[in-house]
Structure 1
Amino acid sequence: MRLWFLLAIAAMQSAVLNGGKVIIEGQQASYAGKVIELATFADPFTGKDTILARCTVDTAGRFKAIVTIDQPQLLYARLGTFKGYLHAEPGQKYIISMPEWQDLSPADKLNPFFEPTEFQFIIENDTNSNSLNKRILQFDTLYFKQLARFTRPRTINKDSLNRAKDSLLKLVSDDAPAFFKDYVTHKIGLLELLAMQYRVKYLSKQYFEDKPILYYNEAYLDLFNRVYDKYFFYTGQSLQGKTIYTIINDRKNYRALDSLLQNDPVLREPNLRELVILKNIHDEFYASRFSRSGLLAILDSLTKLTQNQLHKRFALSIREKITRLMPGYDPPAFSLYDSQNRLVSLSDFKGNYVYLNFCSCQSYACLKEFDLLNNLARKYSNKNFVIVSIIIDEDTASMKPYAEKAGMNWIFLHYAHQPDVVKKYDVRGFPVYYLIGPDGKLLLSPAKSPGEYFELDLFKIMRSRGDM
């Protein structure tokens, strides 16, 4: 008993000394020279990462990363074809093992739908059978077995659901970490939802009314996103809520929307209500039920009026995503190398019309338009007009013959320095074109290709702006 007490005191002292510091280290020879980024989700809606730490693996394959967190949360690293994750707790050190490095294939790099193989990191220095990560692994193993049973409709009823819940709850001891208890609670809520034995309204009240918002617990957020899916749409189906269309599409009034949603007893708590609004603005932007300009205006109002700094950050993240390729907004920035190894940034072309395209020098569809591009570049060379081609090939060798060919009058850049530029511009095939104005805002997104009479659109735009 005395030994246990001394160990507990030592653990508490360590946590106090380290504060919210988390150390993650390991060794895998095949990672030598690679850069490892430890991340968490930027917000519950956009799928974007927030990078918490970045480290370069040494020549022996050793690495060490330090992050600072104030509560347990999911951390992950994208490692070629893999995505490893663990649940980190403040003040802890994790020595992890990793699989052999596997590069993404050229096709996977360009595939916007590519999903890495996920795995939970093996923590070599975790000797506690009741640690948070081992508890979650044990729970998830049983949970997914139970979940598989409920994909067979004949096996679903409340009795079988209750038996499944009881078997899962047996894994939760009184001394379990609070994060784990919350994780289990909301995973069970998700099971209830997927088993279709409870109405969404019941689940909303049961799991979210007068409950703390667990921003860093992915089980809570998963259930939240499913329970409040299409909430604006369903609100508009009721007699009391049908004014939501006028409020968003015509009035574009955040305060009126906020007032309307207070009619739902579960959403009387302002922070939960704001979170529901943020989720639905994000989701509805990609549907066709509400005005995009109305949704964007309400998002901007929420950003200004919210007292919750986390919600402000979420709102800005959503705004960056939904306006990323919209005409009238800033396109994603990039800095890439040309064939002479000079770093060129999009901002370098401010004051010019930029006809931006993504292509491959191994694609016939791209190559057949090179002469048309060159003609455009020559014809408009004195009109503050530049053409920039971002080449999506394995290396720069394929673009050099074109970039350095005499008479080629436009700029070739290679994507390798910033490979995520492909996803940022939603490139799903070749070629893809955009037109950016002298003010740095998108004018045409996407733009037509030269063979589709892009020049006619360019002429109309330039003339309307007094540039012709």
Structure 2
Amino acid sequence: MVQKRLLACFSLFLSVTLATAAHITGTFKNAGAGDRVELIVPHYYVDGRSDNFWAELDGQQSFSIEASIPEPQLVFLKYNDDRLPVFLEPGDTLVIRADVFQFPVVVNFNGRGGANNRLLQQYFKLNPPDYDELNNLRFKIGQWWAAVELLMNDRMESLPPAEFKAYLDERKSASSALLDDFSSKYPGAVTPAFFDWLAAEITYFWGYHLLYYGHIYANRWQIQPEFFDFLNDAPLISEAIGSDWYRSFLQVLMARQVAKSGQVDNFYAAQYTLAGDMLSGKALAFFRSEMIRMAFTSERYREILPYYTNFLQTNEYSIYDAKITGLYEKIARVSPGATAPVFTGNDVDGKAVRLAQFRGRVVYLNFWASWCSACLKKMEMFNDYAAELNSRGVEIVNVSIDENPANWQNSLATRGFKGHHLLASSGYERNIATLFGVETVPQYFIITKNGSFADKPSGNQPEDIKNQLLQVATK
């Protein structure tokens, strides 16, 4: 019986893997044997991960890569430092031919996904994409940071509502005409999944930027309620979850709805609830898992904890569970009331510092790095608080994640930060940052007199943290 069940599980796993696998092959003229070709598949929106598949060119300058593709979406083919966005869907086959001196500008596509990607390149010529985050501006809608390209923002600042909408309408019309003309000229060449995906990209690029403009520049342009009538032409529910612009549209729409209601506290929980009234199917599964993920990775995770169990019980698309279950396990280890992991590390003088030695005092455990400007500003402010905190029973323990000890030592020598100073890598048994699940900085924890984690304040300013430390010290 056990063998039969194991065989059934393996068969199910194999069938799912084969169903989502895409096969991409090709040649790179003028490349060297052994050169590496990579395929980057970002699917954070599904399970919080990105996969990297690769192959080496053989003596005929050919390669073959099989990759798991969870949804029809963009992936990136990389050779040396050049990246080419291509479209793949589960079960796809794509054959490319390129010359290394012309890649990624000139590429020939064949196979089942060939027509899809020939049309995609035409679309990108009409609407060049920009994947450089440095070319984006971000504005806050509620607790969500919405992004827009600098050039698009310039148009928003200079064009009044009617002209800005006319600009986006024209872009949408030209893109839709391209899709329809290609499909008419080559009947059956593009796959239904690609047609739906590109149609979603066109519609929701248009909808996202109109919504962004209408919210961020509402006062500047005195935007009237009828401006938002465009939402009637942007369906709220779509199966094209692999479309970046559809997902962004959902997020800015929901964030705006909650922000308009005046909801400040429980921002993510409010959107989670709202989604149940407005969404269904994959769109609901994606959005609710995303709200949980965003809350879990911020200082607002406590508001979403009651909804975590609800999601696991009601979600019909279990593939989205993985995005949040790992985060929950990490958060549970450092949630208020849980015992803080004990550690021993060496300070800047090589002396052992143990968390246990501070039992009976509150510990402000601050993770930082010499290259983190936000960390440095925060620590400078805590220098001003150090004397008061120490007199009220609070110890400052700064743990640097610097890989180079010299950078850590130089920063301490020049900046004169107060408190106890350790390198995360000096942990006797484990890296201290790893022990606390710290992957980015700045990050901090408040540890009570009895060695358990305390609540963090709702605000994240140094003054908020100081006041919370003093409050915990009175208990």
Calculate the TM-score normalised by the size of structure 1. Answer: 0.51
C-alpha contact (below 8 Å) 2:75/2:87 kept by paired residues: yes
C-alpha contact (below 8 Å) 1:339/1:399 kept by paired residues: no
Q: Which residue of 2 aligns with 1:7?
A: none
Q: Distance in 2 between matches of 1:411 and 1:295?
A: 33
| Shift in alpha-carbon separation, 1:191–1:214, aligned structure 2, 3 A | closer
Q: How does 1:235-384 map to 2 (within 5 A)?
A: 257=273, 262=277, 267=279, 269=280, 272-278=283-289, 294-316=303-325, 328=336, 355-360=365-370
Q: Distance in 1 between matches of 2:405 and 2:97?
A: 35
- CA shift, 1:400, in A, is 5.9
Q: Distance in 2 between matches of 1:273 and 1:131?
A: 31
CA offsets 1:137-159 (integer angstroms, 9 cap, x no match): 211322459x9799654375598
Q: Which sections of structure 1, spanning at least 5 residues, go unmatched?
A: 1-15, 101-119, 238-244, 341-345
Partner SS state of residue 298, structure 1? helix
- CA shift, 1:436, in A, is 4.4
Letter in 2 for 1:328: P
Partner SS state of residue 360, structure 1? coil
The count of residues paired between Structure 1 and Structure 2 equals 374
CA offsets 1:337-367 (integer angstroms, 9 cap, x no match): 9899xxxxx9999999572331429999779
C-alpha contact (below 8 Å) 2:40/2:76 kept by paired residues: yes
Partner SS state of residue 321, structure 2? helix
Letter in 2 for 1:390: S
**Aligned to 2:202, which of 169, 178, 188?**
188
- CA shift, 1:50, in A, is 0.8
Identical counterparts, % of pairs: 11
Q: Which residue of 2 aligns with 1:177?
A: 191
CA offsets 1:89-133 (integer angstroms, 9 cap, x no match): 445467798999xxxxxxxxxxxxxxxxxxx95686745794433
Q: How does 1:381-392 map to 2 (within 5 A)?
A: 387-392=397-402
C-alpha contact (below 8 Å) 1:391/1:414 kept by paired residues: yes
- CA shift, 1:202, in A, is 1.4
- CA shift, 1:397, in A, is 2.9
- In the alignment, structure 1 residue 138 sits paired with structure 2 residue 147: no
Letter in 2 for 1:140: F
- CA shift, 1:29, in A, is 10
Q: How does 1:382-421 map to 2 (within 5 A)?
A: 387-392=397-402, 395-399=404-408, 410-413=421-424
Q: Distance in 2 between matches of 1:214 and 1:39?
A: 16
Q: How does 1:442-453 map to 2 (within 5 A)?
A: 444=456
Q: Which residue of 1 aligns with 2:40?
A: 38
C-alpha contact (below 8 Å) 1:230/1:280 kept by paired residues: no
Q: Which residue of 2 aligns with 1:13?
A: none
- CA shift, 1:184, in A, is 2.6
Q: Distance in 2 between matches of 1:70 and 1:399?
A: 42
CA offsets 1:20-73 (integer angstroms, 9 cap, x no match): 15458999999x9999783413227xxx95132366999xxx998653236543
Partner SS state of residue 170, structure 1? helix
Q: Distance in 1 between matches of 2:406 and 2:254?
A: 50
- CA shift, 1:177, in A, is 1.9
| Shift in alpha-carbon separation, 1:75–1:357, aligned structure 2, 3 A | same
Q: Which sections of structure 2, spanning at least 5 residues, go unmatched?
A: 1-16, 130-150, 212-226, 349-353, 413-418
C-alpha contact (below 8 Å) 1:25/1:65 kept by paired residues: no
More helix by share: 2
| Shift in alpha-carbon separation, 1:399–1:207, aligned structure 2, 3 A | closer
Q: Distance in 1 between matches of 2:283 and 2:259?
A: 18
- In the alignment, structure 1 residue 20 sits paired with structure 2 residue 21: yes
**Considering only aligned residues, what root-mean-square deviation do their CA atoms show, in Å?**
6.9
- CA shift, 1:401, in A, is 7.9
- In the alignment, structure 1 residue 202 sits paired with structure 2 residue 228: no
